[in-house]
Structure 1
Amino acid sequence: MTPRHVFALASLLLACASSMAATLAINVGGERSLTTEQLLARPDVATISVPNDVTFHRTMTYRAVPLRALLGIAQLPADKELQITATDGFVTHLSAKLLFGDGRKRAEPWLAIEAPDEPWPQAPGNGDIGPFYLVWIDPAASRVSSEQWPFKVDAIRIAPTLAARFPQIAVDKSVPADSPIRRGQTVFATQCIVCHKMNGAGDASMGPDLNRPHNPTEYFQPWVLKSFIRDPKSIRAWTDMRMPGFDRNAISDRDLDAVIAYLGYMAKRKK
């Protein structure tokens, strides 16, 4: 191969790498799009180490930018949340309290950026998770859930709260404040609605509606449903199965019982 051919090949590979660069849409008061190159060129980009990464289950190192600085805002309106969507249909929401709550010690969100020439490893059960991935430093400080680590991110925007947009997921006012059913609604809104809908409510499209046409409490015995949530493949498995298991670090026994109580309650409130 001649030097000219080598140069041409190198240019082609570089062009391919550039064409693979992704774009992130951000709308927090003004719509903008940022490419991989633009994000990696920010002065606040840093190399961070994430212990016990939720997706890879080990310490991971990323090039990332601090999410709060990227957003460029210091607060969210009381009736708004930060909505983060992914190309696989996953949608999660971060509350104003989680993002901007007071406290000397709080979890720090970072947007990890996959460079075209330094791809991340394949994630167990998920494959390629790029190009953007929301990771947390010290997540326990703010009780960040496992479903608040979205990957394959393509857009970040301010949206009305889930409760405001989807009243059909709410329990009746007569349900006591300390009821496990009400606690289950909170768990559902954090851990389940990122993939599923309830009575047609929700933004995600990864999994089926959990009340239409039938609620899982109507065809699973309680112990089977618990086992399915903990380890889906222990009950039913198929080639394209996408639901992960939720161990006790992701959902405590108390929260699991609460979300099942909520599902049982909603089975009688189909809308």
Structure 2
Amino acid sequence: MRQCFTLLIALLCLPLQAAQLTLDLGNGSRPWQSAELLKHPLVQDIQIDNDVSYKKTMHYRAVPLAALLQGVRADDHLQAVALDGFAAEMPAAPLLKDGPARAWLAIEDPAKPWPPLAKGKTSAGPFYLVWTDPQAGRISPEQWPFQVASIRRLATVAERFPAMRPAPGLAADDPINQGFAVFQKNCLACHRLNAAGDAQFGPDLNLPHNPTEYFQADYLRRYIRDPQSLRQWPQAKMPGFTETVINDSELDALLAYLRHMVTRKP
């Protein structure tokens, strides 16, 4: 027993192992080891104020994400997939900009691990997409994926998942189409719709029932703004979306899209 305990203590004291990030940008798969990225010529120390995941100021060793996105164009579409199934759908343009809102890939050093996200949880590592000055680009919390395992260049959401598309013939500026855009930016990382999507994190938002079918409109708005104000439980994972993330007109459009999709169940 004593020998087993000694072995356990020794194992717990070992440093974290190096991790791998896979980039699949349409020109072949490129694996990056954390050790490689920590020695990247553009790696630097950055400070993130009010970090989305840690809710405090954090300091990271990070590489400008644009430096890793070789061959990616501004009109491309990327998806960052996390270890837990979270799949952030992101247009490439904001990720390629060098400011004022700038995307960085933060790399967890196995010798200097980051703190856990909460009691009993792991850290945001080994790779975490963070932003400096995110307000300047209206960056959503869903565009801060942590525990990232891969980043892929893909066709757009509408091309890949036609079951999510609104009815054809609607004007581009129709609130329903605008709501579809809001849905892609803020909801699709966790949720599927009509069994379509890559996320494995949250429930389908149209099957078997759409939230507009069982929530009164005012309560659904309240739930989106502050989920814990309606349903409180320690394991809740859905964040609230404040007016700075989804403004009132965008929320109206999102609800218009969801109501519309009730009529387009497969």
TM-score by length of 1: 0.86
For structure 1, the residue ranges without an aligned partner over 5 or more in a row are 1-8
Q: For 1:37-116, what aligned pairs fall within 5 Å after superposition? A: 37-73=35-71, 75=73, 78=75, 80-100=76-96, 105-116=99-110
Q: Structure 1 residue 248: deviation in Å?
A: 1.8
Give the residue type in structure 1 aligned to 2:105: L
Local SS of the residue matching 1:197: coil
How many Å separate the matches in 2 of 1:21 and 1:82?
Answer: 25
| Aligned residue in 2 for 1:120 | 114
How many Å separate the matches in 2 of 1:228 and 1:143?
Answer: 21
| Aligned residue in 1 for 2:242 | 247
What percent of counterpart residues are identical? 48
| Aligned residue in 2 for 1:4 | none
Conserved 8 A contact 2:65-2:96? no
CA gap 1:65/1:100 in 2 versus in 1, 3 angstroms:
closer
For structure 2, the residue ranges without an aligned partner over 5 or more in a row are 1-6
Q: Deviations over 1:151-176 (max 9, x none)?
A: 01011111111111011211123323
Local SS of the residue matching 1:17: coil
How many Å separate the matches in 1 of 2:63 and 2:159?
Answer: 31
Determine if the alignment matches structure 1 residue 196 to structure 2 residue 211: no
Q: Give the count of matched residue pairs.
A: 256
How many Å separate the matches in 2 of 1:65 and 1:254?
Answer: 35
Q: Structure 1 residue 106: deviation in Å?
A: 4.3
Local SS of the residue matching 1:238: coil
CA gap 1:14/1:229 in 2 versus in 1, 3 angstroms:
closer
Q: Deviations over 1:39-80 (max 9, x none)?
A: 11112110011223222333321100111112223526x5x4
Give the residue type in structure 2 aligned to 1:116: P
TM-score by length of 2: 0.87
| Aligned residue in 1 for 2:139 | 144
Q: 2:126 aligns with which of 122, 126, 131?
A: 131
How many Å separate the matches in 1 of 2:43 and 2:199?
Answer: 30
Task: Give the CA RMSD over aligned residues.
Answer: 2.3
CA gap 1:199/1:121 in 2 versus in 1, 3 angstroms:
same
CA gap 1:174/1:16 in 2 versus in 1, 3 angstroms:
same
